[in-house]
Amino acid sequence: MRVLGLMSGTSADGIDVALVRITGRRRHLRAKLENFCTIPYPARVRQAVLRLANANQKRVVSVAAVSQLNFLLGELFAEAAVRAARRFRVPLQSIDLIGSHGQTVYHQPSREAFAGRRVVSTLQLGEPQVIAERTEIPVVGNFRPRDMAAGGQGAPLVPFVDYLLYRHPRRGRVALNIGGIANVTVIPAGAEPEDVVAFDTGPGNMVIDAVVERLTNRRQRFDRQGALAARGQPLEPLLAQLLRHPYFRRRPPKSTGREEFGSAFVEQLLRRAGRARPADIVRTATELTVRSIAESFRRFILLQARIEEVILSGGGAKNNFLIQRLRESLPGLEFLAAGRLGVDEKAKEAFAFAVLAYRTWRREPANLPSATGARHPVVLGVTAPGRQ
Ligand SMILES: Nc1ncnc2c1ncn2[C@@H]1O[C@H](COP(=O)(O)OP(=O)(O)O)[C@@H](O)[C@H]1O
Ligand SMILES: [Mg+2]
């Protein structure tokens, strides 16, 4: 099958599109990336997404805005699919299936009191029915809720695909994706699916992006190549405070998002930084990512398994300074970009949702209970029919 994967992560920078050729059943599944691109969100859409995603229990957002954004994103994801197919020079009719992750605006994997009960919940916007109607291609969407209903965190789901791509009989590998949030998939040498451990380490680019945007009055949206951070010094006392966030101490499986490291966290960081030099503040945010990742390796990965290689993906892989600091902080590990093993670092998450959609189409489960904490494997998502 030819499957298109659509994904927008917590950075809300745009829609990643991956075209993937997939064959085989169960353990014989094979997937190959044919092409990929990113279609950026218009600035106003990104603002609307961030306004919702940064709203917590305290800030008021109307139900109308949630409903409207769901349909608007459905249109934008459909347009992204159509434009990408044109760019790749493949007819839309030659695409058999779309897997659309959508845009997460709320993710609460641990129980919270609500209306007299304690509930978990997650919400991804970008209405699959709209995408299916516009493209006339069947769409699998809403990947996360079933895993949560089965007692899992609903995340991370990419480890299933990491296992498929990176398992190795003699090398222990960690796939490290640095998106808005940073997450790891630990694949010991010769691992079976149930040996795979995965979790979010904490912020990836999200805090860096927010700080850069604020300090440059929106002239810059992110720290290109880490140039700003490279000119600064970490504010050590502030950094020590930030690293005391309880999330970093919690044992895996665990996942996080804007609920914990969004605008409220950034406001507090900026308030505590006071009149420090902007470059020092960006360096501090960068160092928060570096040290929380390195600390996760030391506490939750390297004691438990022998690891030789770290496979990098996500936009953060382009932040040279961050990667350089990470290498210094984790000596003895070999770092390589995902592209070296077949799927470009910028395409991996969209690639993953194409593969997950294929599994769902075949009625095959695709969560790894060892990664999400679910009680059992489940078939993910719901399918909107294509041409009618
Ligand atoms: N050249 C670059 N230099 C530094 N950071 C970059 C670069 N390119 C992308 N990024 C970072 O990557 C982020 C997007 O990463 P992505 O993997 O798409 O995350 P998400 O999955 O959360 O959308 C950007 O917001 C930015 O912080
Ligand atoms: Mg992105």
pLDDT tens column, 35-63: 999 999 999 999 999 999 888 666 788 99
Please, which pLDDT band fits residue 171 given cuts at 50, 70 and 90? very high
CB 243 within 8 A of CB 295: yes
Q: Which residue's alpha carbon is at the smallest distance from atom 19 of ligand 1?
A: 179
Check residue 154 and give its pLDDT.
Answer: 94
Half-sphere exposure of 373 (CA within 13 A, CB side): 16
- Ligand 1 pocket check for 156: Cβ under 6 Å: no
- Ligand 1 pocket check for 36: Cβ under 6 Å: no
Q: Give the angle 302-260-315 at the CA atoms, nearest 5°.
A: 65
pLDDT tens column, 244-257: 999 999 998 888 88
What distances in angstroms separate CA 161 from CA 129, 348, 356, 369, one per listed residue? 25, 9, 8, 14
> What's the rounded mean pLDDT across residues 179-189?
96
Q: Which residue has the tokens 């590998």?
A: 173
pLDDT tens column, 125-137: 999 999 999 999 9
278 prior amide bond cis, ω within 30: no
Helix 278-296 to helix 320-329 angle (10° resolution) is: 40
pLDDT at 359 over 80: yes
> What's the rounded mean pLDDT across residues 62-72?
96
Check residue 58 and give its pLDDT.
Answer: 66
pLDDT at 151 over 80: yes
Check residue 55 and give its pLDDT.
Answer: 81
- Ligand 1 pocket check for 224: Cβ under 6 Å: yes
Check residue 59 and give its pLDDT.
Answer: 72
Check residue 279 and give its pLDDT.
Answer: 97
Please, which pLDDT band fits residue 285 given cuts at 50, 70 and 90? very high
Whether the full predicted model's pTM is greater than 0.85, yes or no, is yes
Q: What single-letter DSSP state applies at residue 300?
A: I
Check residue 250 and give its pLDDT.
Answer: 95
CB 251 within 8 A of CB 300: yes
What distances in angstroms separate CA 87 from CA 36, 91, 104, 352, one per listed residue? 9, 10, 26, 21
pLDDT at 119 over 70: yes
Domains and CATH numbers, the chain: 2-154+348-384 (3.30.420.40), 159-332 (3.30.420.40)
The structure tokens listed for 95 are 């695409």
CB 188 within 8 A of CB 172: yes
- Ligand 1 pocket check for 183: Cβ under 6 Å: no
Q: Which residue's alpha carbon is at the smallest distance from atom 11 of ligand 1?
A: 315
What distances in angstroms separate CA 268 from CA 10, 88, 204, 242, one per listed residue? 20, 44, 18, 10
pLDDT at 259 over 90: no
Torsional class of 174: left (φ above 0), alpha (ψ -120 to 50), beta (otherwise): beta
pLDDT tens column, 311-328: 999 999 999 999 999 999
Check residue 60 and give its pLDDT.
Answer: 81
Query: Cα(16)–Cα(7) distance, rounded to whole angstroms?
Result: 5
Phi, psi dihedral angles at 337 (to 5 degrees): -75, 145
The structure tokens listed for 102 are 């959508």
> What's the rounded mean pLDDT across residues 101-105?
97
Check residue 122 and give its pLDDT.
Answer: 96
Q: Fill in the amino acid letter for 139.
A: V
Å from CA of 205 to ligand 1 middle? 6
Q: Fill in the amino acid letter for 386.
A: G
> What's the rounded mean pLDDT across residues 59-79?
95
pLDDT tens column, 201-246: 999 999 999 999 999 999 999 999 999 999 999 999 999 999 999 9
- Ligand 1 pocket check for 203: Cβ under 6 Å: no
Q: Which residue's alpha carbon is at the smallest distance from atom 14 of ligand 1?
A: 315
> What's the rounded mean pLDDT across residues 182-198?
96
> What's the rounded mean pLDDT across residues 270-283?
97
The ligand that comes nearest to the alpha carbon of residue 261 is 1
Check residue 56 and give its pLDDT.
Answer: 66
Mean pLDDT of the chain: 96
Query: Cα(281)–Cα(271) distance, rounded to whole angstroms?
Result: 11
